[in-house]
Structure 1
């Protein structure tokens, strides 16, 4: 079992009571913190991830809920490949089988695999970046849409990035630009049918070392220098000259997912210390 989450900066107890919430990429990082927070605020959370570590996170949420007496609960759907539509369909069908509905979807899967100037990406590497950071959001939106349309209500929050403008991540930037496009077009298409679609665009975020790596990591001095260039650019572009925290990223996502944001749709909210990307 993963340790219980650290105390949150602020909570709204009961804000998600009675809501069924899918969170993808929930085994670590921003997705884990979002799932923990929604569970602590009363939501029935389904953690979706390739990694079985999501099961441990769900156990930690349930222990936290029991300790604090909230109405939340958590379970996990693991081993699903959201880069394929079949994986997204499985995640949604498992949720419907367990809980009968899906009120909220938080799409968090994604992240740059390599950081290097564009001319140093080959075709296969470019395709992997797009598969990783665009298709999980696209497929999950499509998979959850029928049940939300049938219910006449639903909320989708996509986690994009302010790296749509930045160095050494052109394929990732293209994928996140696609996430922004999905957000805005789907919001316009479905608002009249009771569905809200929003996104946040996180900047650089401090997080514990990844438990499951996205790729092989930088190899050699040149690769490490390209990564450092990205870190320096991201840090210097913020007004605060620092990375954000997991709580600072999770809080806006959770707000947008809640009924408190009922008059917000179609927007991509920058959460990047003033760096508009």
Structure 2
């Protein structure tokens, strides 16, 4: 999966999946700009990737802001002169409440980060991307299924599938591929927070409940999902576009 000198942007780059996806691409020779709104977490991520020297850089930005989105795209171009890969990974999970009780402001926040943030990334990166590039959008098993209590998260992740399909058709003439990765539960802090709150609502062990719902019987390791991102970002995925790649241990079946 040679990605030597390809320039990649990863939003949500300080988080577990964002960082591991970046590390997977860096290991294949890519240059990666990690984007996240949390400056301290970004610095921690940069230190974890420091072995890759000047092939990794960081940029603090709010993905819901158009000017800041243009800023991180321009930063990648300023540093390395091109843009080949965009990984839209920034996301939040919101509340766990039935629709009738769901807070309006939380719904708006989830849609802003998960959907608008991805829209802005595609809007500002696509015109500057090299022909033959790749966009990988991180959705979720909740982007093709649903459960009670997660209306904002599920709606946002479904929306990403629609956005991906439009972008795939619009970008195909330039050989730019656009795909969705739809992970199931991952053994990381993001998922642990969801399961803690879900367990409080249900009055049972949510981690065990989810493992029982996954045919493979366990949560994913973050490295496993990062390898799916790597495949789609790299030349190995050269004939894949407009697709939803399930990485959920069979949970959607």
The TM-score, its normalising length taken from structure 1, stands at 0.82
Q: 1:231 to 1:128 in 2, by over 3 A?
A: farther
1:258 and 2:234 aligned:
yes
Residue in 1 that maps onto 2:136 = 157
**Conservation of the 8 A alpha-carbon contact between 2:136 and 2:181:** yes
Q: What residue is the counterpart of 1:7 in the other structure? A: none
Q: Aligned residue for 2:96?
A: 115
Distance 1:188 1:214 in 2: 36
2:35 is equivalent to residue 54 of structure 1 = no
Is the counterpart of residue 187 in structure 1 residue 168 in structure 2?
yes
Where does structure 1 lack aligned partners over 5 or more consecutive residues? 1-11, 67-71
Who is 1:175 aligned against? 156
Q: Deviations over 1:47-91 (max 9, x none)?
A: 01111222232232132x36xxxxx8201011x110122221111
Say whether the 8 Å CA contact 1:239–1:275 is kept in structure 2: yes
Distance 2:158 2:3 in 1: 30
In the alignment, which residue of structure 1 is the partner of 2:222? 246
Structure 1 residue 232: Cα displacement: 5.5
Alignment partner of 1:102 is 2:83:
yes
Q: In structure 2, what is the Cα distance between the partners aligned to 1:248 and 1:227? A: 30
User: Cα gap change, 1:245/1:234 in structure 2, threshold over 3 Å: closer, same or farther?
Assistant: same
Matching residue of 2:59: 77
Per the TM alignment, residue 116 of structure 1 is displaced from its structure 2 partner at its CA by 2.0
Cα offsets for 1:162-206 (capped at 9, x unmatched): 113232211111111111011111101211122110110000000
SS in 2 for 1:178: helix
Q: Which residue of 1 aligns with 2:74?
A: 93
Aligned to 1:8: none
Number of the residue aligned with 2:114: 133
How has the CA–CA distance of structure 1 residues 241 and 120 changed in structure 2, closer, same or farther, with 3 Å as cutoff? farther
2:19 corresponding residue in structure 1: 32
Higher helix share: 2
Q: Which residue of 1 aligns with 2:251?
A: 275
Distance 1:264 1:171 in 2: 29
**Distance in 2 between the 1:44 and 1:227 partners?**
45
User: Quick check: 1:41 aligned with 2:21?
Assistant: no
Question: 1:214 and 1:46, CA in 2 relative to 1: closer, same or farther beyond 3 A?
Answer: farther
Displacement, 1:118?
A: 1.9
Distance in 2, matches of 1:232 and 1:117, equals: 22
5+ residue gaps in structure 2?
none
Q: How many residues align?
A: 248
What secondary structure does 2:83 align onto?
coil
8 Å CA contact 2:14–2:34 kept in 1: the answer is: yes
Distance 2:223 2:252 in 1: 20
**Contact 1:16 1:38 (8 Å CA) reproduced:** yes
Say if 1:116 and 1:223, in contact at 8 Å, map to a contact too. no
**TM-score between both structures, scaled by the size of structure 2:** 0.90
